[in-house]
Every structure is written in structure tokens, then in C-alpha cells.
Amino acid sequence: MARQLPLQPTDIAAPGSGTSAYQKTLLIVWQSMTGGTRQMAEAAAAGARTEATVQVLCKAAAQAGPADLLAADGVLFATPENLASMAGLMKDFFDRCYYPALGRIEGRPYATLVCAGSDGSGAARQIERICTGWRLRATAPPLIVCTQAQTPEAILAPKTLAEADLARCRELGQALAAGLAVGVF
Ligand SMILES: Cc1cc2nc3c(=O)[nH]c(=O)nc-3n(C[C@H](O)[C@H](O)[C@H](O)COP(=O)(O)O)c2cc1C
């Protein structure tokens, strides 16, 4: 059963832009349990939406599938690190998409956002390995935000990320969308 948050990034077109004005599509696939990754994904989406010709689609991992991936010109993967791995629902997304997309998305740009307590490298490494299999092209090193939550109570509490961290996510989203818009990838 997919865990849902009350606030979800939705598939919203850039304000003032008709769908016909879009030339490229950026897909943001995300999962979040206590809200940190969701804030990172939303910030990246906000940055990406400054590019008027790029359609930004945000999909929770449980709702995303191969068709979304095949239709995207670029992808942002956003996951918590749980037990030194990407979140289970994110892994499920990759499990469902890997073979349907294999050989059909080579060369497309991607980037990764990880929300972690104190590490994040395990999740980042796993996604990098899968994307290497797909022959995707990383546009930036994985962006990892650590909440420094240590106790079970702090780990399970809703997260509010620092503005400086959200600004890094916005910049990453904007850079990915800008590269798509001008066709450098
Ligand atoms: C079951 C579980 C396992 C976790 N394991 C790790 C871990 O291995 N490394 C780490 O840095 N953080 C770990 N964390 C902390 C989460 O990554 C952190 O709370 C983060 O905010 C989760 O993202 P979210 O707010 O989007 O759910 C774990 C959290 C949970 C609930």
C-alpha cells in the first residue's frame, strides 16, 4: 500500500504557459515519508518551472511508471535514504520500469536528490548504478540533504528543510530544465 502525504506535488503546467508552448518534459519522480524529500522535489520543480518551454511533471513513485519515463526528455529522481538504500517505493518504481525502458532512454539527462539523516550515499549510489545501466547522463552529482535526525522520534517527525538546502534543490532543477530548454544534453 502506497504511503501518501496530504500535500503532493501535482502535474501542474507552468503558470501562463499553454501546453502547446512546451518543447521538453522534465519528470520528477519522488517518494517521501516525513516530508523532507517532498520539499526537495517541490523546490526542484519550482526551479525547473522558471523555464517556460519545459513542462515539469511531478509524480509520486507509486504512481509513476514506464510510460512516464519514456515520455520524459529528462528525469529527476528524489528519494529518502532508508536503511542505507533508496526508499522501498522508489526501488519498486525502478523495478517496474527497468526493463520496459532499457535501450529506449539512452543518453537522456538525469539528476538525483536524496534526503537522509546523516549519510545518503547508499541511496545515491544505487540510483547511479541503475542509471548507468540505462545509459542515462548525470547532469550533476547527487544532491544530498541531511536532516541530522538521530533519535527514532526525530527521524519519524515531519521535516522542515533549511532554506539554503531548498535553494540548492531549486538551482539543480533550474539547471536541468535550462539545459533541456537549450538542448545541451
Ligand atoms: C526506517 C528508516 C531508515 C533510515 N535509514 C537511514 C540511513 O540508512 N541513512 C540515513 O542517513 N538516514 C536514514 N534514515 C533517515 C531518513 O533518511 C530521514 O529521516 C529523511 O528525512 C527521510 O526523508 P523523508 O523526510 O522524505 O521521508 C532512515 C529513516 C527511516 C525511517
CA distance 47 to 58: 13
Q: Which of 16, 11, 2, 90 is nearest to 53 (CA)?
A: 16
pLDDT above 60 for 34: yes
Which residue's alpha carbon is nearest to atom 15 within ligand 1? Answer: 117
Which residue's alpha carbon is nearest to atom 6 within ligand 1? Answer: 82
Query: For 17-21, 24-28, 81-85, 114-118, which range has the lowest pLDDT when averaged over its residues?
Result: 17-21
Helix (H, G, I), strand (E, B) or coil at 58: strand
Please give the backbone phi and psi of residue 147, each rounded to the nearest 5 degrees, phi first: -85, -15
Domains of the chain: 19-182 (3.40.50.360)
Percent above pLDDT 70 for the chain = 89
Is residue 179 within 6 Å of ligand 1 at its C-beta?
no
Is residue 37 within 6 Å of ligand 1 at its C-beta?
yes
Residue 32 confidence (pLDDT):
98
Residue 185 confidence (pLDDT):
86
Measured from the Cα of 149, ligand 1's closest atom is: 19
> How far apart are the two ends of the chain, measured CA to CA in Å?
36
Q: Residue 92 belongs to what H/E stretch?
A: helix 88-101
**Strand duo 24-30 + 74-82: pairing:** parallel
Compute, in angstroms, the gap from residue 81 CA to the centroid of ligand 1.
Answer: 5
**Confidence tier at 127 by pLDDT (50, 70, 90):** very high
Residue 11 confidence (pLDDT):
44
Is residue 5 within 6 Å of ligand 1 at its C-beta?
no
Determine the average pLDDT of the residues in 113-130. Answer: 98
Which of 40, 148, 155 maximizes ligand 1 atoms within 8 Å of its Cβ, making it the mutation to test the pocket? 155
Residue 20 confidence (pLDDT):
56
**Confidence tier at 4 by pLDDT (50, 70, 90):** very low
Residue 183 confidence (pLDDT):
92
Residue 73 confidence (pLDDT):
98
Measured from the Cα of 80, ligand 1's closest atom is: 23
CA distance 70 to 6: 28
Specify the amino acid at residue 25. Answer: T
CA distance 77 to 60: 10
Radius of gyration over every alpha carbon of the chain, rounded to an integer in angstroms: 15
Is residue 80 within 6 Å of ligand 1 at its C-beta?
yes
Please give the backbone phi and psi of residue 75, each rounded to the nearest 5 degrees, phi first: -140, 140
Determine the average pLDDT of the residues in 47-75. Answer: 98
Please tell me the pTM assigned to this model: 0.91
Determine the average pLDDT of the residues in 117-137. Answer: 98
